[in-house]
Structure 1
Amino acid sequence: MILPTLIFSQTKSKIMGDKKIVIYQLLPRLFGNTNTTNKTYGSLEENGTGKFNDIDEKALNGLKELSVNYVWYTGIIAHASLTDYSKFGIPNSDADVVKGIAGSPYAIRDYYDVDPDLAVNVPNRMQEFENLVQRTHAAGLKVIIDFVPNHVARGYHSNVKPKGVEDFGENDDTTKSFSPKNDFYYLNGQNFMVPDIDKVPNPTDSLKDYQFNESPAKATGNNSFSAKPKDDDWYETIKLNYGVDYQNGEKTYFDPIPPVWVKMKDILVYWSKKGVDGFRCDVAEMVPVEFWQWMIPQVKKEKPDLIFIGEAYNPKVYSQYLNQGGFDYLYDKVGLYDALKKLIRNQPDADVAAISQAKNEVQGFDDKMLRFLENHDEERIASKGFAGDANFALPAMVVTATLGKSPVMVYFGQEVGEPAKGIEGFGKDDNRTTIFDYWGVPNHQKWMNNGLFDGGQLDENQKDLREFYKNLLKISSQNEAISNGDFYEVPQQEINNNRVYAYFRYTNDQRLLIISNFNRTESFEGKINLPSIVLNNNQPKNPVDLLSNKNLEMPAGDALNIKLAPNSSQIIQF
């Protein structure tokens, strides 16, 4: 079967007009939680949990202050956890194949249900989610949720699926290790064995017997074909079969269409009809590009303005997943994020040349790369293992938000310097905000201020940091030179400093010079020439730094004198 090749599925102008996309990622479980107990491995009753209803009009207006236009609600779809909801007809999960007490949002136990933790009234949980979607839309914002296509929880079973929908594996021939008609991969003649997990004793141990009934064993989500996964495998998940025989040279069977393809398409249509405007697609590269090529156009027929964001880490296939697969955007982690992290941390090998290299590597689809400094997988900037101070990332955030036309993302708490301190439980003390545990996020809770969402408990440094993000994101989303302009990089030999990076963003009507000094202690002074391609026969005048709203001196001739303090940036309009 030959599938038609797609050209990039949608232009930015078709999705958001000429406005830059600004995404705010939050976990409702953590976002609305006012409980400050933060007991290691604390239960829901001990540590609390946020609810759909906590994300009210005040909260959404707080996000709009950051020029956000899309909210990525992480952990919406029902996933395996150790909280008992059996009285509501929700089966309990087995502790031997659940990470943490709250569980991983990426171990889906029912694609057609929402997480009961997030509901005030559990039987009414889907309506409470739909009400959140309506509130978000009423605030002028759009909704993104996770789509987890590669794997499901070990105990997957949908007890609320629509009539006529078949469960994954319901009709599998388990005597075959691989069949394109099967939803799962099987290890014939072998029973699943719980991995030897060497961890600090914790409250979930009393729920474990190191037994899980799975016969024959199924392949694990990260492509482990062992009946006894290692403890760092994704042992809580099972791999879905998209028609690729991994144990026989990855031979493909895409004609006829494998059943998993159809089931996943129907799931996406189901959620789009709930009002969802986009999907962040987990480990998109672990699913064959042919599936995306087949599925995305069909789902967009139902809702043309949907966006699909792929979590991707292999630059060699970026073009394929965008052009052939039809993704609207992919993560820019391996390129820009990794380059900026070294500069933020002031590593000896940090060099702004890596920014230039990262941008060159995505030439031709730069405006399709989602840029960020934090998300649920990455270390918090202010954590002891990253930078220790959120202010060290300000120059990098300027680059992240203004380098291209592409979307920019902020992770909740980033804008108030959340340091991710504490041993949460399964999440450990790993410089990240846990996704596995019930937890309160302290700096975010200060902004939340017991549901007022007014920043009433923030200290002055935290208030200043949030104001910086407000100003920067407003500039990046409202200035056409950033949202829709061209790019010209100032030659590095002109700057002669490997910790200073500068570039122009410009249109016929607007010209900006953006310059960032990553030096922590040294100022930068120099002259930046204004190239003719940027000036476009106009005489430069009236330079102003949009970040500080201060007028700058304009010397005679086509150049700007730059004076830049350590660890700072300027966005100069002239």
Structure 2
Amino acid sequence: MKEKRSHKFIVYQMMFHLWGSTNTDLAFNGSCQRNGVTKFIDVSLNALKALAKKGFTHIYATGIIEHATMEDFSAYGSPLDHPSIVKGRAGSPFAIKDYYDVNPFLATDPAKRMEEFEEMLERIHACGLYLILDFVPNHLARQYHSDKKPKGIIDFGVNDQTDKSFDPNNNFYYLPGTQFSVPDGLDIPIPYSIPYIEIPAKVSGNNVFSAQPSKDDWFETVKLNYGIDFQHGEKTYFDPIPDTWLKLLDVLTYWTNKGIDSFRCDMAEMVPVEFWAYVIPKIKAINPQVTFIAEIYQPYRYQDYIYRGGFDYLYDKVGLYDALRRLMEEKPEATVEDITRVWQHESGEFSEHMLRFLENHDETRINSPGFAQHNLWSTIPAMVITACLHHGPIMTYMGQEFGEMANEVEGFNLAQDRTTMFDFWRIETHQRWMNQGQFDGAQLTKEEKQLDDFYVNLFQFVHTHPAIQEGHFFDLQYAQNEHYPKRKVYSFLRYTSKEKLLIVCNFDSQQYYSLDIQLPALAKEMMKVSQFKLKLIQAFVPPAVNEHIQQADEAMLPPNSAYVFMIS
């Protein structure tokens, strides 16, 4: 049994099929053979040691479980998917077509794909790292079929009564008397002559009760039925336990027994909290150290999914991420008071349960025109707050640490601000960091190395300071005088009985600010200090600032910077 982990772990998200790609000669809508794809063997001991050295503790590998794809692996037991219901040549990582298998294209020998995955998992654990796997409970691929399911497992939908729009023991929702129609306006790279037939049409994954969803809907997926009758006032039928619950408990048990350390639960809020309250304790009975992370965007539901549902961590997107992004973009309405509101009204009482980030596969890259490309170093104050505000976990997305722009048009993905999930491609900065298997960043530009150094130094700081790992938090904004720049500078304390830190962050991209931080009587009382001194122990500053000052000026906080003082 592994020892209990700190809440303050550091997650590295990899879009798995892109992670190991070294090809630079890429074709629009290219196949995995043409453009290249990660193999499990690419996640080598050298690669894992390099990630651990950077300070990462957990790997969130997106796109491991087998999903619908336009690639043909029927020779290896994986049925061919109809291209009209697949997004991109690679397909969506969240359109699962076999919960008990991994993607064949990730294996050097597709016939031995599960063995290769298990060997990779052993390497991850050998390096002291943990693996987070996607669990997609809300929807499945339209052509779900498991060729690797254990004996006794029955596929989703096999026993459904398809003449009923809803039945508590159906796995899917149906539209009797209809036939599914492929959305208009799709540009499918693989020609097909045989139409896709689905009679009756199933309800699409984003709760679209239409036989012809739009191309912007989750048309490639079908909604799973947890015993909620959406067409009749969302009446629930949870007793007896619905068949879908039992099937998904089997799935989670299967992967837990393989040694998975954590599950990132896709769109967890679209699944009833009662299911999580049922299934999470059963998995933790198998391995108490397994953790559950919920993708959730409605703050009023946070408390329910933590205390009733049993989740260990929730995405803090509609909260800290949104507040920091406004500040990084220097929106006219942006103010650091938004940060105070986040911890007060959304996550203050359960801050250790919030997983915080500035990038993931759904959000635009920081270094893109629509975000902060004009001011990349706004990353410094924002990431320091993301990492240090409370003692929950933090996450970064592969390439974020180098300022990846994601400005290429790959195929299905046409947005020049996000890394594609749907295409066989590459991540350009990450390729140069890999440096043909050296994992030393030798091909990175000077600025990319400087940004990477900031992340490494920040993670080292997080790992080595108990006040950040497990200390109390105190917001100082309310106690500052009229000269304090309350819209641009955010100050807070993190402290234990043995270590007390003052952290000050400046979001202004131009202005230096004089530091005259007031510690109120309540903060001194809580920290048990009266007379004290401040010593600057860490200065996170942009390279342009570093080039002009040999030693940080403790009295002036530079633009886009963060200072950490020890209180003694």
Deviations 1:516-539 (CA, angstroms, capped at 9, x unpaired): 111011111130123413551364
Equivalence for 1:220: 204
1:15 Cα shift? 3.8
1:174 Cα shift? 1.1
Deviations 1:232-274 (CA, angstroms, capped at 9, x unpaired): 1100000000000000000000000000101101100100111
Q: Secondary structure at the match of 1:39?
A: coil
Matches of residues 70-469 of structure 1 in structure 2 within 5 Å? 70-196=58-184, 198=185, 201=187, 203-204=189-190, 206-207=191-192, 211-361=195-345, 362-388=347-373, 389-469=375-455
Structure 2 Cα separation of the partners of residues 30 and 269 of structure 1: 28
1:562 Cα shift? 3.8
Structure 2 Cα separation of the partners of residues 97 and 365 of structure 1: 40
CA contact (8 A) 1:150 1:240 kept: yes
Q: Secondary structure at the match of 1:296?
A: helix
- Which of 550, 563, 566 in structure 2 is aligned with 1:570? 563
CA contact (8 A) 1:307 1:328 kept: yes
Structure 1 Cα separation of the partners of residues 495 and 424 of structure 2: 46
Structure 1 259/468 Cα, relative in aligned 2: closer, same or farther at 3 Å?
A: same
Equivalence for 2:544: none
1:548 Cα shift? 5.7
1:378 Cα shift? 0.5
Spell out structure 1 runs of 4+ moving beyond 3 A.
547-553
Structure 2 Cα separation of the partners of residues 547 and 51 of structure 1: 40
1:462 Cα shift? 0.8
CA contact (8 A) 1:41 1:202 kept: no
CA contact (8 A) 1:544 1:551 kept: no
One-letter code of the match for 1:545? I
Structure 2 Cα separation of the partners of residues 448 and 534 of structure 1: 47
Structure 2 Cα separation of the partners of residues 207 and 435 of structure 1: 23
One-letter code of the match for 2:498? D
Q: TM-score scaled to structure 1, two decimals?
A: 0.93
CA contact (8 A) 1:504 1:534 kept: no
1:542 Cα shift? 5.8
Consecutive unaligned residues in structure 2, runs of 5 or more = 542-549
Structure 2 Cα separation of the partners of residues 113 and 562 of structure 1: 58
Structure 1 548/226 Cα, relative in aligned 2: closer, same or farther at 3 Å?
A: closer
CA contact (8 A) 1:500 1:516 kept: yes
Deviations 1:490-526 (CA, angstroms, capped at 9, x unpaired): 1254323301111010111111111111101111113
Structure 2 Cα separation of the partners of residues 250 and 178 of structure 1: 11
1:207 Cα shift? 3.2
1:182 Cα shift? 0.6
Structure 2 Cα separation of the partners of residues 208 and 399 of structure 1: 54
1:69 maps onto 2:57 in alignment: yes
Structure 2 Cα separation of the partners of residues 176 and 272 of structure 1: 34
1:360 Cα shift? 1.0
Q: Secondary structure at the match of 1:477?
A: helix
Equivalence for 1:506: 495
CA contact (8 A) 1:178 1:186 kept: yes
1:202 Cα shift? 5.6
Q: Secondary structure at the match of 1:290?
A: helix
Structure 1 Cα separation of the partners of residues 284 and 527 of structure 2: 41
Q: Secondary structure at the match of 2:349?
A: coil
CA contact (8 A) 1:28 1:52 kept: no
The root-mean-square deviation of aligned C-alpha atoms, in Å, is: 1.7
CA contact (8 A) 2:477 2:486 kept: no
Q: Secondary structure at the match of 1:409?
A: strand
One-letter code of the match for 1:97? I
Equivalence for 2:515: 526
Equivalence for 2:545: none
Deviations 1:524-561 (CA, angstroms, capped at 9, x unpaired): 113012341355136423602324699878xxxxxxx6
- Which of 496, 499, 503 in structure 1 is aligned with 2:485? 496
Equivalence for 1:7: none
Structure 1 Cα separation of the partners of residues 76 and 246 of structure 2: 30
Structure 2 Cα separation of the partners of residues 14 and 243 of structure 1: 37
Deviations 1:41-82 (CA, angstroms, capped at 9, x unpaired): 111122111111101111111211222111111100000000
Equivalence for 1:24: 12
1:363 Cα shift? 1.8
CA contact (8 A) 2:539 2:552 kept: no
One-letter code of the match for 2:380? L
Q: TM-score scaled to structure 2, two decimals?
A: 0.94
Structure 2 Cα separation of the partners of residues 229 and 548 of structure 1: 48
Structure 1 Cα separation of the partners of residues 163 and 3 of structure 2: 48
Structure 2 Cα separation of the partners of residues 258 and 329 of structure 1: 26
1:158 Cα shift? 0.4
1:208 Cα shift? 6.5
Structure 1 Cα separation of the partners of residues 199 and 306 of structure 2: 39
Structure 2 Cα separation of the partners of residues 442 and 452 of structure 1: 16
1:546 maps onto 2:534 in alignment: no
